[in-house]
A and B are shown apart, each in its own frame.
Chain A
Amino acid sequence: SQQGEEDPQALSIQEGENATMNCSYKTSINNLQWYRQNSGRGLVHLILIRSNEREKHSGRLRVTLDTSKKSSSLLITASRAADTASYFCATQPTGTASKLTFGTGTRLQVTL
């Protein structure tokens, strides 16, 4: 069963614009992670934010976490055509070691 839902399901922007994706989840978590998947390929880990953190940056990525609202957002700044992919949040619910559950995903299309 999936733990998270992402919004929007699909997002189309032009190169240079920022892209924001949101993730909502249902139970308390140890951490929340974001992954990227190019079409038909494996997933690549982007960034992890722990339950006691509120914001984290990595290059052009900015992740926020609001545990009171059980939600997270991923911001990609100055997007590039190469950022075109599906993005998934993944959560590890508290007390479920080794069980990482993925959200529904956002398909991002960046056009030139």
Chain B
Amino acid sequence: DTEVTQTPKHLVMGMTNKKSLKCEQHMGHRAMYWYKQKAKKPPELMFVYSYEKLSINESVPSRFSPECPNSSLLNLHLHALQPEDSALYLCASSPQPATNEKLFFGSGTQLSVL
């Protein structure tokens, strides 16, 4: 299995809602990532988990809360988002955190905040 699976594919939420994005991989990768991508822009790194521990937080607002329950799962909890948070949220994994030599991406969750 060489896939990174993200659910849901699309999400519409209000500014007072609480929702979660989910990401799963069964490749035995020990690094997992959240990226945010606005339309026609490059992906921007949000968080990195190395061996299930948060290793990088790119100064992301606290309304985004990542969680890595185990080596296969990565969640992104969303609360009190703003319309400008609407974007494609991409999860990725890689075999080794230190080398970072090839990221496997999921298809993303297209998030709309109303």
A43-B45 contact in complex given A48-B101, A98-B98, A99-B100, C-beta closer than 8 Å: no
Given the complex, which residues of B lie within 8 Å of A97, measured CB to CB?
97-100
Which of the 9-residue segments A13-21, A58-66, A67-75, A100-108 touches chain B? A100-108
| A104 nearest in chain B by CB position | B42
Given the complex, which residues of A lie within 8 Å of B31, measured CB to CB?
98
B42 x A100 contact (CB < 8 A): no
Report how far A31 CA is from B102 CA in the complex, Å: 10
A residues at B contact (CB < 8 Å): 2, 31, 33, 35, 40-45, 48, 88, 90, 92, 97-105, 107
| A47 nearest in chain B by CB position | B102
B56 x A42 contact (CB < 8 A): no
Given the complex, which residues of A lie within 8 Å of B43, measured CB to CB?
43, 88, 102
A100 x B110 contact (CB < 8 A): no
Q: How far is the CB of A74 from chain B (nearest CB, A)?
A: 15
Given the complex, which residues of B lie within 8 Å of A43, measured CB to CB?
43, 90, 92, 103, 105
A40 x B110 contact (CB < 8 A): yes
Total count of chain B residues near the partner, CB < 8 A: 29
Give me 5 A-to-B residue pairs in the complex whose CB atoms sit less than 8 angstroms apart, sorted by A's number.
A33-B102, A42-B106, A44-B105, A98-B33, A100-B45
Report how far A100 CA is from B56 CA in the complex, Å: 11
B103 x A45 contact (CB < 8 A): yes
Report how far A23 CA is from B28 CA in the complex, Å: 32
Report how far A81 CA is from B88 CA in the complex, Å: 25
Given the complex, which residues of B lie within 8 Å of A99, measured CB to CB?
45, 48, 56, 100
A42 x B105 contact (CB < 8 A): yes
B103 x A103 contact (CB < 8 A): no
Interface residues in B18-61 (C-beta closer than 8 Å to A): 31, 33, 40-45, 48, 50, 55-56
B102 x A48 contact (CB < 8 A): yes
Given the complex, which residues of B lie within 8 Å of A107, measured CB to CB?
40
